[in-house]
């Protein structure tokens, strides 16, 4: 073996300052590797950007445990609202199932994506990690002993390795494998909002409800003080870009959302009535990603959505992104880059594939939610069958924990365990 292949990684370029990027940089820092983050956008969170990228999401127990491994879980706890259980409801208002992760795990937290991103970036900065904004990666050259990145402002940066944490439409993924598949429009547009303390609706007491609406999917949680958060997926046959969705305007989308949920006997109509246009977050098109066959080439590697985007309804995207970021750093701490990349992939592939399969398989709670969040809501007969059979299926699965995949949440990374 040559000296070159056995040399440990000293420096890393992390492309993308979303979720996976700052987490990877903190994990690398903890592993003794100097990481610098390069983010395409030059502002922090402008209103327009917040609307485009700032939907609500949950950070599952396993995601928090990954952050705990690098002493960063407080960043989520500080901004996240606890979600003690997930509930499933029919459009008729009927409760179909309620599922809580094992009590000994961290409580799931609801966060706004932009707030999570800001919190992680702030925590990384507190640890002395540099994040450069306005640096959109265009190209990268692997010299065999390092990688040189070229950005849209004409600047260059060089390090031992380059990590692609640049999301669903990853540039690094295309550099690693130009034949890599592209995301597909999933036939739905996503919206979310927070509603101030103005509703008369009762608190959901920590439960986040996912509703099989008659025409569309709706999720909501109402706090004790009457404030609430909700998100909805509106079927929309014609693909729309984020920009096109924004251009329609919040007032018009709210009108269409109110029409879509008008028959539902859930809190959806009331929450939509209480939402003002300026509070509507128009996330835009929901996209799915075929499995990515190649995660690394030479000294470049992928993490987060760039490597393994999951359906939004799986509730695992940001959590899996955090896990992968921490695991990659652990591998790079203990092994030279080539071996570390192989070890990382063999640690991560089976878990990521299993979660992906689970998110699209019946009859789990998350997949049930995923199914209700489809462009083709069920017809009257399917709705009746589902409402009758789902509670039975959930009970048959050991109080739900087996069928809804409690195993996903238990994953814990032992930072001190050596790799290889």
Ligand X SMILES: Cc1cc2nc3c(=O)[nH]c(=O)nc-3n(C[C@H](O)[C@H](O)[C@H](O)COP(=O)(O)OP(=O)(O)OC[C@H]3O[C@@H](n4cnc5c(N)ncnc54)[C@H](O)[C@@H]3O)c2cc1C
**Minimum distance between the CB of residue 170 and ligand X, rounded to whole angstroms?**
7
- Cβ proximity to ligand X: between 317 and 336 the closer is 317
Binding region for ligand X (CB under 6 A) out of 80-88, 253-261, 316-324, 410-418: 316-324
Picking from 273, 250, 259, the residue whose alpha carbon sits closest to that of residue 214 is 259
- Of 12, 13, 20, 147, the one binding ligand X (CB under 6 A) is 20
Site mask for ligand X (CB under 6 A), range 144-163, x = bound: --------------------
Contact letters for ligand X, residues 204-243 (x by CB under 6 A): ----------------------------------------
171 is an interface residue for ligand X by CB under 6 A:
yes
> Residues 298, 312: contact at Cβ < 8 Å?
no
| Identity of the residue, 38 or 218, whose beta carbon is nearer to ligand X in the bound complex | 38
Nearby residues of 318 by Cβ (< 8 Å), 6 or more positions away: 19, 57, 59, 63, 113, 116
How far is residue 49's CA from residue 246's CA, in Å, rounded to a whole number?
Answer: 11
SS3 164: strand
Structure tokens at 336: 């030279």
The tally of CA atoms less than 13 A away on the side-chain side of residue 212 is 28
Residue of 13, 16, 367, 408 interacting with ligand X (CB under 6 A) = 16
Closest distance to ligand X from the beta carbon of 63 (Å): 6
Residues in contact with ligand X, counted by CB under 6 A, come to a total of: 35
Asked if 318 interacts with ligand X (CB under 6 A), we say yes
Window of 79-87, 125-133, 166-174, 363-371 that interacts with ligand X by CB under 6 A: 166-174
Taking CB under 6 A as the criterion, the residue among 25, 28, 75, 165 binding ligand X is: 165
Comparison of 39 and 327: residue with beta carbon closer to ligand X? 39
What secondary structure does DSSP assign to 247-304, as a single string? HH-HHHHHHHHHHHTTT--SSHHHHHHT--GGGEEEEEEEEE-PPPS--EETTEEE-T
3-state SS, one letter per residue, for 183-211: CEEEEEEEEEEEECCCCCCCCCCCEEEEE
Three-class secondary structure of residue 346 per DSSP: helix
Q: Which of the stretches 93-101, 206-214, 318-326, 407-415 binds ligand X when contact is defined by CB under 6 A? A: 318-326
DSSP type of residue 245:
H
- Return the residue of 99, 232, 321, 343 that touches ligand X, per CB under 6 A: 321
Q: Does 73 bind ligand X (CB under 6 A)?
A: no
Q: 12: Cβ–Cβ under 8 A, 6 or more apart, which residues?
A: 24, 25, 28, 33, 34, 35, 36, 159, 160, 161, 162, 163, 332
Judged by beta carbon, residue 80 or residue 377, the one nearer ligand X is 80
Q: Which two tokens stand for residue 311?
A: 């359906």
DSSP lists the bridge partners of residue 112 as: 56
Taking the least distance from each CB to ligand X, the nearer of 41 and 401 is 41
* Nearer CB in complex with ligand X: 31/229: 229
Task: Decide: is 80 part of the binding site for ligand X (CB under 6 A).
Answer: no
Min separation Cβ 220 and ligand X, Å: 13
Applying the rule CB under 6 A, the residues between 32 and 61 that interact with ligand X are: 38-41, 55, 57-58
**By CB under 6 A, residue 19 contacts ligand X:** yes
| The binder of ligand X chosen from 275, 283, 296, 408 (CB under 6 A) | 283
| Cα-Cα-Cα-Cα dihedral sign, residues 362, 368, 373, 379 | positive
Summarize as ranges the residues that interact with ligand X (CB under 6 A). 15-21, 38-41, 55, 57-58, 113, 135-137, 165-168, 171, 190, 283, 304-306, 312, 315-319, 321
């Amino acid at each position: 073996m040559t000296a070159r292949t056995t040399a440990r990684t000293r420096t890393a370029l992390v492309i993308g300052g979303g979720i996976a990027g700052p987490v990877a940089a903190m994990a690398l820092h903890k592993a003794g590797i100097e990481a610098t983050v390069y983010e395409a956008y030059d502002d922090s969170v402008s209103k327009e950007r917040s609307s485009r990228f700032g939907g609500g999401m949950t950070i599952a127990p396993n995601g928090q445990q990954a952050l705990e491994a690098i002493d960063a879980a407080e960043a989520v706890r500080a901004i996240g609202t606890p979600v003690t259980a997930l509930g499933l409801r029919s459009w008729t208002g009927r409760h179909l199932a309620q599922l809580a992760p094992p009590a000994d795990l961290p409580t799931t937290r609801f966060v706004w994506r932009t707030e999570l991103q800001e919190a992680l970036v702030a925590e990384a900065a507190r640890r002395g990690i540099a994040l450069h904004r306005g640096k959109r990666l265009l190209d990268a050259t692997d010299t065999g002993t390092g990688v040189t990145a070229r950005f849209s402002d004409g600047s260059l940066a060089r390090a031992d390795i380059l990590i692609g944490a640049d999301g669903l439409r990853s540039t690094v993924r295309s550099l690693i494998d130009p034949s890599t598949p592209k995301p597909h429009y999933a036939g739905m547009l996503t919206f979310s909002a927070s509603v101030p303390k103005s509703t008369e609706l009762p608190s959901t007491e920590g439960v986040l409800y996912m509703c099989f609406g008659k025409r569309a999917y709706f999720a909501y949680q109402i706090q004790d003080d009457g404030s609430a958060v909700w998100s909805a997926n509106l079927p929309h046959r014609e693909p729309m870009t984020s920009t096109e969705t924004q251009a329609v305007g919040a007032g018009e989308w709210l009108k269409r959302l109110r029409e879509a949920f008008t028959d539902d006997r859930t809190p959806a109509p009331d929450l939509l009535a209480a939402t003002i246009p300026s509070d509507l977050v128009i996330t835009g098109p929901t996209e799915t990603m075929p499995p990515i066959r190649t995660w690394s080439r030479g000294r470049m590697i992928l993490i987060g959505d760039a490597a393994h985007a999951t359906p939004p309804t799986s509730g695992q995207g940001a959590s899996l992104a955090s896990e992968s970021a921490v695991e990659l750093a652990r591998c790079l701490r203990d092994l030279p880059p080539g071996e570390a990349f192989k070890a990382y992939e063999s640690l991560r592939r089976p878990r990521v594939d299993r979660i992906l399969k689970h998110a699209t398989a019946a009859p789990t709670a998350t997949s049930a939610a995923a199914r209700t969040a489809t462009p083709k809501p069920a017809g009257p007969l399917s709705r009746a069958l589902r409402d009758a059979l789902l509670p039975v299926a959930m009970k048959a699965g050991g109080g739900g924990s087996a069928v809804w995949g409690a195993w996903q949440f238990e994953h814990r990374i032992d930072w001190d365990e050596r790799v290889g």
